[in-house]
Chains A and B, each alone.
Chain A
Amino acid sequence: MTAAPQSIMPLLTQMTFIVPELMLAVAIVVVIACDMFLPREKSWQCGWVALAGLGIAAMDAVYLWNVTSGRMLGGPARLFWGMVSADNFAMFFKLMFLAGAGVTILLSLRSAELTRMRSGEYYALLLTATMASCFMASSSNMLMLYLALETLSLPSYVLAGYRKSDRQAAEASLKYILFGAVSSGVMLYGLSLLYGLAGSLDYAAITRIATVNYPVFIVTMIFLIAGFGFKMSAAPFHFWAPDVYEGAPTPITAYLSVVSKMAGFAAIMRLLAPYFSMTTIAPYFDAARGMLGRQFDLTSIFWLLAVLTMTLGNFTALRQTNIKRLLAYSSIAHAGYMLTAFVAHNKDAFSAVMFYLIIYFIMNFGMFAAVTFIYNRTGSFQISDWRGLFYRSPIVVVCMGILLVSLIGLPPTAGFVGKWKLFVAVVEEGQRSASPWFFYSLVLIALANSVVSLYYYVGIIKQMCFYEPGEKLANFRFNTTQKLAMLCFAAPIIALQINWQPLSRFVERGMGAARQAVIMIIPMTTHQNQTLRAAEKTHGPQAFDIRHTGDHPC
C-alpha cells in the first residue's frame, strides 16, 4: 500500500473544487438523454443543451478562479489524496477549455459538414473530451494524468472520423488512433519506469528521482514528452496532424488544434514547474556534453524539439494548397514557438506561453470559423477557391487578414505581442546563462521561421485580394452572423496589441500571482472558502498539503 496522505478537508468540500467537471459529466448524460427523445432531424438541438452545460460549468470555474486565487503553480496538490490541484493555473486552463468547447459547438451548429447527421453522440463526446482536458490541466498525479490524456484521446479519435461515409475522415480517424496508441504506450512505459523508481505516482516523487537517478529521469522524461508531444503536435510526433486536420469536421479540427494542444501544454507545464531550477543539477552524460557542447539536460531536449517542430511545420506549410492542411502545419509551427519557453524554463517564459495560448486560441478559432463559413457555401477547402474573396466581402477578408498577420506575428496585431513576450523571456534567460548563445540561437531560428511563415500566410491574403473572383464564389456572400463572428475574432487581436495589460494580469493570476491582486467579483464568504481559510489558520498555509517540495522559484 502506498502511504495514504490524510486530507483534512471533507470529501464533499473537496468536490466543490471540481464542480465544473461534475457539471460537464451531468451535461454528458443530459445530452445523451435528449438525443434519445429527439428525432434525427432535430438532434442538432443537443448542441444547445451541451452549450448550456458548458455555460454553467464556466460560471462555476469563474467563481473558483477567485477562490483559488494566489495558489502557485507547482505548489502542493491538495484534493482527492493528491490527485488534482486546485490552483489558478488549473482554473485558467479550465476556463480556456470551456470557452474553446463553446466556440466549437457554435461552429458545429453552423457547419454544413455536420447537417443531417445524428449529433447527440457528437456533443456528448465533445463534452467528454473537454472534461478530460480540464482534468489534464489540474492533475498532479501520473495516474490521473494518464487517465485524463486517454479520455481526451478516445473521443477525439471518434470525432475526427465523425463523417463516417467520408473516406478521408476514416483515414484520419485510423491514423489518429494508431499514432495515439503508440505515443500513449511509450508514455506509459516511461510512467512505469518512474513508478518503479519512485514507488509513487505523485509529481513530487519525480522530483526526488531527478536528484538521485538523473539519467533515468532524462530518459523517462523523453518517454513522457512523446505522450505530450502527440497532444501538442510537436515535431517527431506530429505525423497525424495534417491528415487528421484535413479529414475531421472543421469545428473538430479547430478543437484539436486549440483545446487539445492547450491541454498538452497545460499538463507538461504543471509537470515541469518544479524543475525550473533543477535542469542543471547533475553532471552526467559527459560524452553527450562533449558532443553537444553543452550539458545534456531537459533544456537541450526542448531546444531540439522546438527547432525541429517550428522548422518542419513552417517549411512543409509552404507547399500546401489545402487550407486545413496549411493550418495544420501552421499549428505545428506555433507549437514549436511555444516550446521555446521550455528552453528558457522560468516563470516569465511560462507566463508568455499562457499569454500566447490565449492569442493562439483567438487566431486559430477565427481562421477555422472562416474556413467553415466559406466551405458552407463553396464546398471546398482549396486556397485557390478563395480567389477574389475580397470583392465579395471586404469586411470579412480584412478580419481574416488581421488574423493571418497575427499568425505571422507582425506588429499591428496581438500575435506580435505574444511572440515578443516569448522571445524576450528566452533572451533574458540567455543573458543570465553561462552559455547565452544556446538561447540566442534559438530565438534567431524562431525569427527566421517567422519570416518563412510570412510567405505562405501572405500567399493566402494575395489569393483573396489580387484575383478576380472564381466561379465558386459567383453568388457568394457572408450573412450578418458570420460577419459579426469574424469581427468578434479580429477585434480582440487589434485591441490586445493596443493594450495587453489586462490579459497580462489575467495570465499573472493564472500563474498564481499575489492574492492582493484579486479583484473580488463574488463575496468570498461561502462555506467552501471558510473551510479553506480556517484550516489554513489552524494548520498553517500548508494545511492540505500532501507534499512539501520546498522552494519553487515559480
Chain B
Amino acid sequence: MSPQTVIFYCLAVIIILSAVIATFARNIVNAAYGLFFTLLALGGVYVLLRADFLAVTQIVIYVGGILVLLLFGILLTNRRLEDLIISGQRSSLLGVVMGCVIFAVLLAIIFYARWPQSENAQLEGTTAPLGYLLLQNFLLPFEFSSITLLAALLGASYLVRPSERD
C-alpha cells in the first residue's frame, strides 16, 4: 500500500464518520462541527487528486467562510440552543429503505461502469490553466455566474429587509 492510499483511506474514514455525525446529531452545533471535519477532509482528498486550487478554495470558502458563518448564525440568533434548534427525523423507515435502494443502485453503477483512466497527471499548479480556461472555454458560464450571484444578492437583500407594508 502506497502512502497515498493510506492517506486516502484515513481521509475517507474521517469524511464518512463526520458526515454521519453531521446527519444524525440532535444538536445543530454538533452537526456543524461534524460538517467542519467532512469539508476539511474533503479538501485533503482534492490535494490527493492534485487539484491544488480546488483544495485551497474548498478550505477557504467552505471551512473558512460558510461554516464559520453557519456557526455564528446559530450562536447569534438563538440563546436557548437545545430548545429551539433540534433536528429530527420523521418517517425514517421509508427514508432508510429509499436510501438503501439508491445506495445499491449507485454501488452497482460504480462497479459496473467502465471509468476512463486519466493519464497520471504531473504535479504542477492548476491555477494558471484554470485562469486560461475561465477566460476561454468557460467564458460564458463564468460571466453568466455573475448574473446568478446578482440575482442571489438581490433576492437575499429583499427578503431580509424589514417589511415595508404598514
Contacts and interface: CB of A to CB of B under 8 A. Distances in A.
Interface of A: 1-2, 4, 11, 18, 25, 28, 32, 40, 79-81, 83-84, 116-118, 121, 124-125, 128-129, 131-132, 135, 141, 143-144, 147-148, 150-151, 154-155, 157-158, 161-162, 164-165, 193, 196-199, 212-213, 215-216, 219
Contacts of B141: 83, 141, 143-144, 147
B144 A147 contact: yes
Contacts, number: 106
B144 A121 contact: no
A84 B137 CA distance: 12
19 contacts: A4-B136, A18-B140, A28-B150, A40-B164, A116-B165, A117-B165, A121-B154, A121-B155, A121-B157, A125-B155, A125-B158, A128-B150, A128-B151, A132-B148, A151-B151, A164-B159, A165-B165, A197-B116, A215-B109
A154 B152 contact: yes
A158 B159 contact: yes
Contacts of B105: 219
Contacts of A144: 140-141, 144
B163 interface: yes
Chain B: number of interface residues, binned into ranges: 20 to 34
Nearest to A215: B112
A148 B144 contact: yes
A147 B152 CA distance: 13
Given A128-B151, A196-B115, A118 B133 contact: no
Given A116-B165, A197-B116, A216-B112, A81 B151 contact: no
Most buried by A among B109, B114, B129, B163: B109
A449 to B, nearest CB: 28
Given A118-B164, A212-B114, A215-B112, A147 B139 contact: no
A219 B164 CA distance: 48
A2 B137 contact: yes
A132 B148 CA distance: 9
Contact of A164 (B112, B139, B163): B163
Contacts of B158: 121, 125, 158, 162
Given A11-B139, A164-B165, 6 more contacts: A25-B147, A116-B165, A154-B155, A158-B155, A196-B115, A216-B113
Most buried by B among A116, A129, A154: A154
A213 B150 contact: no
B138 interface: yes
A157 B140 contact: no
Contacts of B113: 193, 197, 213, 216
Interface string B89-117: 00000000000000001101100111110
B151 A80 contact: no
A117 B165 CA distance: 7
Contact of A151 (B129, B144, B163): B144
B163 to A, nearest CB: 5
Given A117-B164, A154-B152, A143 B159 contact: no
A404 B75 CA distance: 53
B145 interface: yes
B148 A1 contact: no
Contacts of A118: 164
List the 8 closest pairs (A to B, CB-CB), nearest first.
Answer: A158-B155, A80-B140, A128-B151, A81-B137, A151-B148, A121-B158, A216-B113, A83-B140
A46 to B, nearest CB: 13
Contacts of A197: 113-116
B124 to A, nearest CB: 11
Contacts of B159: 158, 161, 164
Contacts of B133: 1-2, 4
Contacts of A135: 144
